Amino acid sequence: MKKYLLYLLMAFAAISFTACEDDAEPMGQSIRADVPELNFEGQNGAEQTVSILSDGDWVASAPEWITVTPNYGTGNMTVSIKVADNLDTDGTLAAERKGSVTFSVLESAATVAIIQAGDPAKKPVEPAKITIAEFNAAAEDETVFYELTGTISGVKSTYYGNFNITDPTGTVYVYGLYDKQGGEYGAFENLGLSEGDLITLRGYRGSYNGLIEVMGGYYVSHVASLVSATPSEVELPIEGGEFEIALAYKGESFEVAIDDAAKSWLNMGAIRPDGDTTRISFSAGENLGGLRNATISFTSSKGDVVSTVTTNVKQEGSIVDISIADFLTKEDGPALYRLTGKIKSIVKEEYGNIYLEDATGEVYVYGVTATAVEKNDKSFASLGLKVGDILTIVGTKSSYKGEPQAGYNNVPAYYESHISYTESTVADFLAASTGDAYYKLTGTVKNLSNGTYNNAEIYGNFDLVDEAGTSVYVYGLTKAPVAKNDKSFASLGIKEGDKVTLIGKRAEYKGTAQVGSAYYISHEAGQTGGDEGGEGGGEATGGYSWTLESGAFGTVDAFKSSVTAGTPALTWTTAITWGANGGYIGFDTNDSARGLQLGSGSKPATAFSLETTATGITVSSIVINGSIASSGTAKVSVYVNDAKVGETVTLTTTATDYTFTLGSAVKDAKVKIAYENTQKAMYLKSVTLK
């Protein structure tokens, strides 16, 4: 009888195929190229073209010796492809080289293989054979390929070939497997690869959102796994239960390992032969906490060949009610939390990307769906939610580029309930009955410090006067919905004369109508009164507007250090920092009309700023229409007289007006607009000073 060995090992890290994106964009679903391969001469190779057929926004990626023009676009287009001369360091013709151009649109991609002739007497350099630990420590370089050998685990896509590969030194994620260098997807399925197989492949060291990946990977060889385990996924209810794994192995023995984090709640039971398989039982007790996961590893070896497969166990858990501040302190993971707050802003309505705010803070929610689903089904619009609604969601804690968010491994948060409101005039509000219904009101703040109630500027007690001149008393305004006034009014920077939008209930005090349970939505600075001897005081004097045109900042090689433009004309000092690959300046003439483009996917601008002294203009707010390319990371901040105005804003892919409001109007303001960026193109369409 074979000897059964049992000991506990560390679990292999499970790395997700799809990284979080603050701004998941509907780019389209399909793309293809009219040719599978292009051949070029070793020197002075003629430029060739490829026709791209797509229904969305696409972007091209290629090694540095291949130039694609344009390298991004929308829909059907023809692109030009050129290659650099294939020369050795001594100026002679090098060995033949191969590469590829990948055209990507959302979840689809089309690849064109590029083959450049070389000296037939020279043999191409074989990739170095290294361990996964050495690969992870190597420099990121798409021109240097390595050969890796390890065990397949954590398969995410059998068509594209997305999986983990593990050797004794570590684990790395393989982002797609071609059948040959620059070849086609489908190798994983066509070759019958499966979890536990020992595979040899080649690829270069890349990364995505900080995650090290094997990119451009292509198949070399494999040895079929010595072990298999069925099922590969197990789901347990909150109350727990038992399950059984059917194990088949061809090695001399087998080993079972439960990851350390699950040893306290997942137990192994009996092992019994059953024909050609071995059945192993496991059990888990009631789960009194949040959702929890475990990985069970099964390993078999024969000689120098070692194969490992895994079964993932998920047990449902309770949902924890939590404030946003406490939620932000939690570790990333699958545990479920219930959050309630007002919808502060809707970043992308199609996917339900929003900011949710309660009395303790705010959090970015990476997608809200109508029900619990594994992938965003774009059902947010069906909920009819809007800014200001009090929303309750259930989701997991995650992070994107170090920033916390709700939503984990691309699984969106899901809707539980919401409280909405009716837009109303003050007169209609006064005519309504008292109750729990919410109303949205807009008006001017009056009598903020009239002594009607002590500490009025702390608790937010004032008269609200709408455009019709009708007034109602607001008994306390807070930053977000709260059960009891938290004195957050002072943090809003609202002053007498400001125009404020709020949501509250129809209430009464001693027979007099008032707004109760009111929470803040937005405000605009009002007139601040005149300076002695001056004309017009702090009132905005006409404002300023500037819609940028193509060529507004010159060219990459002749970037204008100052620009005089807009109505009335102002002189702006400009500064831009390009990445290591140089720069690109363009103008968006597509339907998206995003304005002046700074940088591109392969040549991003890392920083850009505009600065002016707004002589003769009194400024109460700055409105910037900006945006980014798909998967871009641009942010914008605004400063007046070197003081930051509001919060830094992460731009979206849609040309959007972003308003930065001052606490009070500033005369002759020195205004600075600062972009920061790490990848892709960023856009600036217009600047308005009010």
Average pLDDT over residues 276-301: 90
What CATH number did the domain enclosing 581 receive?
2.60.120.260
Token representation of residue 248: 């088949």
Please tell me the pTM assigned to this model. Answer: 0.46
| pLDDT of 18 | 34
pLDDT in tens, 647-671: 888 888 888 889 898 877 787 788 9
The Cα–Cα gap between 607 and 626 comes to: 14
The Cα–Cα gap between 65 and 215 comes to: 17
Do both 449 and 519 map to the same domain? Answer: yes
Task: Say whether 398 sits in a helix, a strand or coil.
Answer: strand
Token representation of residue 142: 């798409």
Task: Count the helices and strands in the chain (H runs, E runs).
Answer: 5, 53
| pLDDT of 105 | 82
Q: What is the DSSP string of 50-83?
A: EEEEESSEEEEE--TTEEEESSEEESSEEEEEEE
Whether 6 shows a pLDDT value over 50: the answer reads no
Whether 527 shows a pLDDT value over 70: the answer reads no
- 532 in a structural domain: no
Write down which residue in 59, 90, 116 finishes a domain.
116
Specify the higher pLDDT residue, 483 or 210. 483
Token representation of residue 41: 């001469």
Confidence of residue 491 (pLDDT cuts 50, 70, 90): confident
| pLDDT of 185 | 86
Whether 471 shows a pLDDT value over 70: the answer reads yes
Residues 6+ apart with CB under 8 A from 56: 26, 27, 28, 29, 30, 31, 74, 75, 105, 106
Do both 566 and 642 map to the same domain? Answer: yes
| pLDDT of 680 | 82
User: Burial of 650 by CB count in 10 Å (0-12 exposed, 13-18 middle, 19+ buried)?
Assistant: middle
Asked whether the beta carbons of 459 and 486 are under 8 A apart, the reply is no
Write down which residue in 87, 116, 145 finishes a domain.
116
Whether 39 shows a pLDDT value over 80: the answer reads yes
Mean of all residue pLDDT scores within the chain: 85
pLDDT in tens, 394-405: 999 998 878 899
| pLDDT of 237 | 93
Most confident of 113-122, 386-395, 676-685: 386-395
Confidence of residue 122 (pLDDT cuts 50, 70, 90): confident
The Cα–Cα gap between 156 and 410 comes to: 13
* Residue in 447, 465, 444 with CA at minimum distance from that of residue 456: 447
Sign of CA dihedral 622, 625, 626, 630: positive
- 668 in a structural domain: yes
Which residues lie across from 413 on neighbouring strands?
368
Kind and range of the H or E run holding 427:
helix 426-431
Asked whether the beta carbons of 323 and 354 are under 8 A apart, the reply is no
Do both 309 and 333 map to the same domain? Answer: no
Report the percent of the chain where pLDDT is more than 90.
46
Write down which residue in 419, 434, 450 finishes a domain.
419
Do both 194 and 100 map to the same domain? Answer: no
- Domain with 362, as residue range(s), is 320-419
pLDDT in tens, 313-366: 999 888 889 999 999 999 888 888 999 999 999 988 898 999 999 999 999 999
Confidence of residue 211 (pLDDT cuts 50, 70, 90): confident
Residues 6+ apart with CB under 8 A from 647: none
| pLDDT of 186 | 86
Average pLDDT over residues 541-546: 73
Whether 136 shows a pLDDT value over 50: the answer reads yes
| pLDDT of 669 | 81
Which is it for strands 368-369 and 413-419: parallel, antiparallel or unpaired? Answer: parallel
Task: Say whether 615 sits in a helix, a strand or coil.
Answer: coil
| pLDDT of 200 | 94
Using the 8-state DSSP alphabet, how is residue 554 labeled?
B
pLDDT in tens, 175-202: 999 988 878 888 888 888 988 888 999 9
| pLDDT of 462 | 92
What CATH number did the domain enclosing 252 receive?
2.60.40.10
Whether 75 shows a pLDDT value over 70: the answer reads yes
Specify the higher pLDDT residue, 109 or 32. 32
Specify the higher pLDDT residue, 6 or 51. 51
Domain count, the chain: 6
Do both 648 and 553 map to the same domain? Answer: yes
Do both 105 and 180 map to the same domain? Answer: no
Whether 85 shows a pLDDT value over 90: the answer reads yes
- 98 in a structural domain: yes
Average pLDDT over residues 75-103: 90
Average pLDDT over residues 597-625: 84
- 12 in a structural domain: no
The Cα–Cα gap between 339 and 336 comes to: 10
Most confident of 304-313, 340-349, 637-646: 340-349
| pLDDT of 114 | 92
Confidence of residue 604 (pLDDT cuts 50, 70, 90): confident
Report the percent of the chain where pLDDT is more than 70.
91
| pLDDT of 423 | 95
| pLDDT of 4 | 35
pLDDT in tens, 671-685: 999 988 877 888 899
Whether 248 shows a pLDDT value over 70: the answer reads yes
Helix/strand/coil percent split, the chain, to 5: 5, 50, 45
Do both 50 and 181 map to the same domain? Answer: no
| pLDDT of 615 | 63
- 514 in a structural domain: yes
Do both 214 and 232 map to the same domain? Answer: no
Whether 14 shows a pLDDT value over 60: the answer reads no
Confidence of residue 558 (pLDDT cuts 50, 70, 90): confident
- 162 in a structural domain: yes
Do both 252 and 305 map to the same domain? Answer: yes
What CATH number did the domain enclosing 367 receive?
2.40.50.140
| pLDDT of 116 | 93
Confidence of residue 11 (pLDDT cuts 50, 70, 90): very low
Do both 265 and 355 map to the same domain? Answer: no
Whether 537 shows a pLDDT value over 50: the answer reads no
- 2 in a structural domain: no
Average pLDDT over residues 568-592: 83
Whether 12 shows a pLDDT value over 50: the answer reads no
Whether 531 shows a pLDDT value over 50: the answer reads no
**Cα-based distances in Å from 12 to 258, 639, 653:** 10, 47, 36
Token representation of residue 317: 């858990």
- 146 in a structural domain: yes
The Cα–Cα gap between 344 and 360 comes to: 13
| pLDDT of 365 | 95
Do both 189 and 85 map to the same domain? Answer: no
- Amino acid found at 251: G
Do both 260 and 306 map to the same domain? Answer: yes
